[in-house]
Amino acid sequence: MGGTFDPIHHGHLVAASEVAAAFDLDEVVFVPTGQPWQKNAKEVSPAEHRYLMTVVATASNPRFTVSRVDIDRPGPTYTIDTLRDLHATRPEAELFFITGADAMAQILSWKNVDELWSLAHFVGVTRPGHVLSTQRTDVSLMEVPAMAISSTDCRRRVSDGEPVWYLVPDGVVQYIAKHGLYLKNGPAKDSQV
């Protein structure tokens, strides 16, 4: 499951859990993006923070793991590279790429999209306010239970001094506070990991 995870929240975790159950997956690998090409670099927290929050959020689930392939690869993240790298580390595995409606739309618009299909089965998850439609029969669509949570809203809440308890895992609430992430006046001094 790819994402910016800035921060990871319960919408991501529920989506991963639902897809894992529906497709009988052995493992869900969370892959925080490197420099996201679709988002302004300055608006995205350092990769190391996003990686560590994802580790904290998934630590208690034996079937959830986190991969550094995208954050350790220089340059912008392209799904084709993510899949090639994951395939290289797990040559025997049948790969499923889980992503949300917005990201799936971008992936489908890529000119060499058929190349992706040889590497993984694509599963698009929808959430309230995001419509996912595709003519493709080789993409699975799944509705996850209504979880109107977004990272954007979590960041705004922290910035406005509102709670994010129960929107993100407890450890992530504490991580955000410890490193002063998403504060109005910029990150706290120790926010560089």
Per CB under 6 A, residues contacting ligand ATP are 3-6, 11-12, 15, 99-103, 125, 127, 144, 147, 149-152
In which element (H, E) is residue 140 found? strand 139-143
Beta bridge partners of 29: 65
Token pair listed for 145: 């239970």
| Entry field: residues in the chain | 193
Output 91 or 169, the one with its CB closest to ligand ATP.
169
Q: How far apart are CA 120 and CA 108, in angstroms?
A: 14
Residue nearest to ligand ATP (CB): 100
Q: How far apart are CA 40 and CA 16, in angstroms?
A: 26
Q: For residue 179, which amino acid is it?
A: H
Token pair listed for 90: 């797990």
- Smallest distance, ligand ATP to C-beta of residue 15, A: 4
Output 92 or 184, the one with its CB closest to ligand ATP.
184
Output 132 or 179, the one with its CB closest to ligand ATP.
132
- Smallest distance, ligand ATP to C-beta of residue 39, A: 7
- Smallest distance, ligand ATP to C-beta of residue 83, A: 15
Output 128 or 170, the one with its CB closest to ligand ATP.
128
- Smallest distance, ligand ATP to C-beta of residue 91, A: 26
Q: How far apart are CA 139 and CA 160, in angstroms?
A: 39
